[in-house]
Homo-oligomer: A and B are copies of this chain.
Amino acid sequence: MEPIIIVHGGAGDIPLSRVQGKLNGVKASAAVGQKILAQGGTALDAVEAAVVLMEKDEYFNAGYGSVLNLKGQVEMEASIMCGNNLDVGAVTLIKDFLHPISIAHKVLTNSPHSLLGGEGAKMFALEMGFSTVPPESLISENAKSALAEFLKHGEFGRTEIGLRDEGGVGTVGAVAIDCNGHIAVATSTGGMSGKAVGRIGDTPQIGSGTYADDNIGGVSTTGHGESILKYCLAHSIIKLMQSGNVANTATKLAINGMTERLKNTAGAITLSKSGDVGINFSSKRMAWAYIRSNKIYFGIEKDEILEEDYVSI
C-alpha cells in the first residue's frame, strides 16, 4: 500500500485573517510527514514530525502559540498512539517545553506508563534529555489577544454551536499509515483560552483525542474538548469503521452524533487500514491536508477540497 499521512490544524470559528496561515501550515506539515513515509520511515516518526512542525508555528494552538489559561499561563498536552500494539504515550499539564508531542513519543517508547502529567511529566522529560524553555517564550501575541477577548466576553464552558470560540482553535493532529501498513496518530494542543488551571481536555485521553489500531484505522480529533471526551469521539469513529463503515461515513456519523447529543462542535481526520480518508467537522472551519499520488489535497471550508500538484520536498 502507498503510505499516506493526513493532518489537521484545528476545528472552530477560525477568523478569515488566520485562514491562509493555517492552510500554509497544514500543507507544510503533511509534506514533512509524507517525506518521512516515502523514505521508508515509520508512521510514528511521520506523525511526530508533522505535529512538531505545527507546534513551532504560531498559527496553531500547540507548542508555541498555545492559548492561555485563566492565569495567563501555557499548559499543554499531547498524545501519540501506535496501531500495531496499541502502545500509547501522552503528557498533560506541560508548561515549559516546546514540543509536548516529542515527550509523549518518549513516554511511548521509554516508560512503563502511558500518560504522565505535571511535575512528573517534567521530571521524565528532563531525564530523557529534553530542555526546558522559558514559559513566556511559548506565548504568542495572538494567544494574549485571545485571552483578553475571553476575559471580556467569557463563557467558553458553554461554547454552544455558532458562538465565538476562536480562543480554543488550533489543536493539531496527524494520522499516518507507513509502508509496513502500521498506523500511528498524534495530537497536540494548548487547550482552550481562559481554561481553569489544571484543566485536562480530550487530547491526552486515548479514545477521545487520539486512537490507532492497525486492524481498523486511526483518528485524531479537535474541537470542544469536554464534549469530545464525553462522547469518546475517536473511539466512536473507530468502532463505526469496525462495524463496516468507510472512514468518511464513520467520521461524519460520529461527529453528527456528538454534536446532536452535546450541542458543541468538533472535527476529525481518519484513515481506515486500507487508506481511505475521512474528514469531517461540525464547526465553521477546520484546516486539513493530505498527499496522495503526487497531488496535495487540502481545505478549510465545509465541503471544500482544493488540489495542487505536489513535488516531494
Contacts and interface: CB of A to CB of B under 8 A. Distances in A.
A87 B263 CA distance: 13
A206 B235 contact: no
A88 interface: yes
Contacts of A225: 114
Nearest to A258: B86
Interface string A52-78: 000000000000000000000000000
B117 A196 contact: no
Contact of A86 (B86, B205, B211, B262): B262
A232 B232 contact: yes
B86 A196 contact: no
| Among A86, A88, A123, A262: residue with most chain B CB under 10 A | A86
A47 interface: no
Interface in A94-149: 111-124
Nearest to A235: B232
Contacts of A231: 86
Interface string A237-279: 0010001000000000000000001100000000000000000
B196 A113 contact: yes
Main secondary structure of the interface of A (DSSP, over half): mixed
B196 A226 contact: no
A158 interface: yes
Nearest to A191: B113
Given A232-B235, A262-B86, A115 B199 contact: yes
A123 B211 contact: no
A93 interface: yes
B115 A117 contact: no
| Among A86, A122, A124, A198: residue with most chain B CB under 10 A | A198
A8 interface: no
A189 interface: no
Nearest to A77: B117
Interface in A127-176: 156-158
A77 B197 CA distance: 17
A118 B206 contact: no
Given A205-B207, A262-B86, A198 B229 contact: no
Contacts of A93: 117-118, 120
Given A112-B158, A232-B211, A120 B198 contact: yes
A92 interface: yes
Given A207-B207, A230-B206, A157 B115 contact: no
Pairs A-B, 8 closest by C-beta atoms: A120-B198, A112-B157, A207-B232, A120-B197, A86-B230, A115-B200, A118-B118, A207-B207
Given A86-B262, A115-B201, A117-B118, 7 more contacts: A112-B226, A113-B199, A114-B229, A117-B200, A120-B199, A122-B198, A207-B235
